[in-house]
Amino acid sequence: MLNSIIETERCLIRPLSLADAAGIFELDSNPNVHTFLGKNPIKTIEDAENVIKFIQKQYIDLGIGRWAVIDRANGDFIGWTGFKYIIEPINNNANYHDFGYRLIERYWGKGIATETGKACIKYAFETLNLEVINGICEVGNIGSVNVLQKCGLQLKDNFLYEDIPHYWFELQKTAWIKQTGPNNNQT
């Protein structure tokens, strides 16, 4: 669980709250955001509230869930980042921490996913004491491939998920320590 706020140069990372519903609606109602997510954007603010409640339940039940990304300069909701604990098998793997992110479209291409992703990974290894994290994305999602690799995850496998080709990425704590050096200051 995220017990404090993670700070990066441009962003604050904190647990999601119902006050983020308008931001989640802007994010998840955009069909462009859902290009590689099953093409099923949400339709109402109530849908956005339900997304937040679902993630908040993960905080309670699993001790982890995606976190809000907030613009430090103006307090605007940018999207979410962080981890989801996956119980059901994906690519013959279960019970693992999936790293992911999703940003409102106007924030794409600014390095925010990488900046906040690196901060979350540092938190995962140093504070949550995780030994390994994973990430998946559609093969065609070049932006996410780049973010995952810039955050240090290594491509390990390709597999079909819901009949769509995906990549499987992994980062072990030992490899992260080697990548970041003795200070582990990636943020």
- Band of pLDDT at residue 36, cut at 50, 70 and 90: confident
Is residue 186, in this structure, part of any structural domain at all? no
Q: What is the distance between the alpha carbons of residues 114 and 126, in angstroms, rounded to a whole number?
A: 18
In terms of Cα–Cα distance, which of 43, 31, 27 is closest to 100?
27
Are 68 and 16 in contact by the 8 Å Cβ rule? The answer is yes
pLDDT given at position 40: 74
Is residue 187, in this structure, part of any structural domain at all? no
Sheet of 11-15, strand order: 6-7, 11-15, 66-71, 77-86, 96-103, 132-138, 164-172, 154-161
pLDDT exceeds cutoff 60 at 76: yes
- Specify the CATH number for the domain of residue 127: 3.40.630.30
Mean confidence (pLDDT) of the chain: 91
Is residue 185, in this structure, part of any structural domain at all? no
What is the pTM assigned to this prediction?
Answer: 0.91
Q: How many independent structural domains does the chain possess?
A: 1
pLDDT given at position 183: 60
Is residue 67, in this structure, part of any structural domain at all? yes
**By residue range, what is the domain housing residue 173?**
6-104+112-180
pLDDT exceeds cutoff 80 at 187: no
Is residue 120, in this structure, part of any structural domain at all? yes
